[in-house]
Amino acid sequence: MYTVETRNLVKKFGNVVAVNDIDIKVKQSEIFGLLGPNGAGKTTTIHILSCMLKPTSGEAYVNGYNVMKQPDQVRKSIGIVFQDPALDDQLTGRENMEIHGMLYNVPKKVMKPRIDAALELVELTDRANHQVRTYSGGMRRRLEIARSLIHTPKVLFLDEPTIGLDPQTRERIWEYIAEMAREEKITIILTTHYMEEADKLCDRVAIIDFGEIKAEGTPEELKKQLGGDVITVKTKRAKELNSAVSGFEFVKSVKETSDGLKITLLNGEEHITDVACTARDNSIDIESLVLQEPTLNDVFLYYTGREIRTEEASGAVLAMRMMSQMGRRR
């Protein structure tokens, strides 16, 4: 039995399909990542699993409960950290946690020990009695994560948990998340558009784009699916170079990027000179040529034909996001 499972899950907002026939299975104590750009359907999926949105069709189960038929049981057994801040900044950190505990009917005799333990985990014990308005962005995020643990959820949903944070704070939060999964035996599902976050933190990753799961597996499995090395070429004549190298037997795939090409090939160290010589023979100027092992960004590019970008979402995506948030408030 899986802790979280969806079957043919679909969510539509009018004519826009936000989630398109998604099937995922997540085991107990696993850190499972939904990796994709803005508007890919990640947050909508989380909102369905946490009973804030109803699916258009399909089924979803959390801790064995049907999200449509048993929403109260689902809500009692989960925690969630929203992408948007959800703290009262006029209250202290401890007061925010106490209110959360009361909402989840945490017994008084265990509330203080749980709050103390959660604050210690995220290193906020010395700031617990300060108003949240005095916290940095990273501290607020850590408090939200700590708060989500008070009622000992079996599943924790983290929606873009490190968005907008500096790299050092982001890595520290990764450590907290990994420790939670390890020590508390919590199943964690997180959404992210950060490749490094998914690679370092997740046991398994589902690449999602335009509401569809494009690939799924451990980060290493996904990278091995490319079956070779990757050469990143920066050039203004990408289309011409694409045509020139695509016919080589050692080239597995060629994808055009915003400033050049990503070439997946066998025995990269041996054939990188062939790529360079081909460019020279065709009078194609190359600004840079880098050989590396595949990354999750290369995997995303391979399956979707484009790179993940963090620019503003389209009008359709913004509409979906607003409707999703309205459903959450209700």
Q: What's the CA gap between 309 and 259, in Å, rounded?
A: 14
pLDDT band at 168 (very low <50, low <70, confident <90, very high): confident
pLDDT band at 309 (very low <50, low <70, confident <90, very high): low
Residue whose pair of structure tokens reads 């939200």 in the numeric block: 144
pLDDT at 78 > cutoff 90: yes
Residue 126 is assigned to a structural domain of this protein: yes
* 215 shares its domain with 320: yes
pLDDT at 8 > cutoff 90: yes
CA separation (Å) from 145 to 113, 240, 291? 16, 49, 38
Strand partners, 254: 263
Q: Average pLDDT, stretch 295-316?
A: 71
pLDDT at position 288 is 94
pLDDT at position 223 is 92
Residue 323 is assigned to a structural domain of this protein: yes
pTM for this predicted structure: 0.82
Q: What's the CA gap between 76 and 151, in Å, rounded?
A: 8
Residue 320 is assigned to a structural domain of this protein: yes
Residue whose pair of structure tokens reads 């170079």 in the numeric block: 241
pLDDT at 159 > cutoff 50: yes
* 172 shares its domain with 255: no
Dump pLDDT digits (tens) for 134-151.
999 999 999 999 999 899
pLDDT band at 12 (very low <50, low <70, confident <90, very high): very high
| CATH number of domain containing 48 | 3.40.50.300
Could you report how far apart the first and last alpha carbons of the chain are, in Å?
A: 31
Domain that holds residue 266: 227-293
* 257 shares its domain with 271: yes
Measured at the CA of 18, the angle between CA 12 and CA 20, to 5 degrees, comes to 85
* Number of residues that make up the chain: 330
Residue 275 is assigned to a structural domain of this protein: yes
Q: What percent of the chain has pLDDT over 90?
A: 73
Count of the separate structural domains present in the chain: 2
Residue whose pair of structure tokens reads 């929403």 in the numeric block: 71
By the 10 Å C-beta count (0-12 exposed, 13-18 middle, 19+ buried), 298 is classed as: buried
pLDDT at position 326 is 47
Collapsing DSSP states into helix, strand and coil, what is residue 157? strand
Give, as one character, the DSSP assignment of residue 322: H
Amino acid at site 330: R
**Torsion sign, CA atoms 276, 280, 283, 286:** positive
Dump pLDDT digits (tens) for 218-262.
999 999 988 889 999 999 999 999 999 999 999 999 999 989 999
Q: What's the CA gap between 244 and 263, in Å, rounded?
A: 12
Q: Which residues of 65-101 are buried (b: 16+ CB within 10 A; e: fewer)?
A: bebeebbebbbebbbbbbbeeebeeeebbbebbbebb
pLDDT at position 200 is 93
Cβ pair 238, 256 in contact under 8 A:
yes
Q: What's the CA gap between 217 and 279, in Å, rounded?
A: 35
Please name which of 295, 292, 276 lies closest in space to residue 284, comparing C-alpha atoms: 276
Residue 289 is assigned to a structural domain of this protein: yes
Q: What percent of the chain has pLDDT over 70?
A: 93
CA atoms within 13 A of residue 191's CA, in its CB half-sphere: 23
Residue whose pair of structure tokens reads 């408030």 in the numeric block: 329
* 192 shares its domain with 213: yes
* 289 shares its domain with 324: no
User: How many other CB atoms sit within 10 Å of the CB of residue 9?
Assistant: 26
pLDDT at position 321 is 47
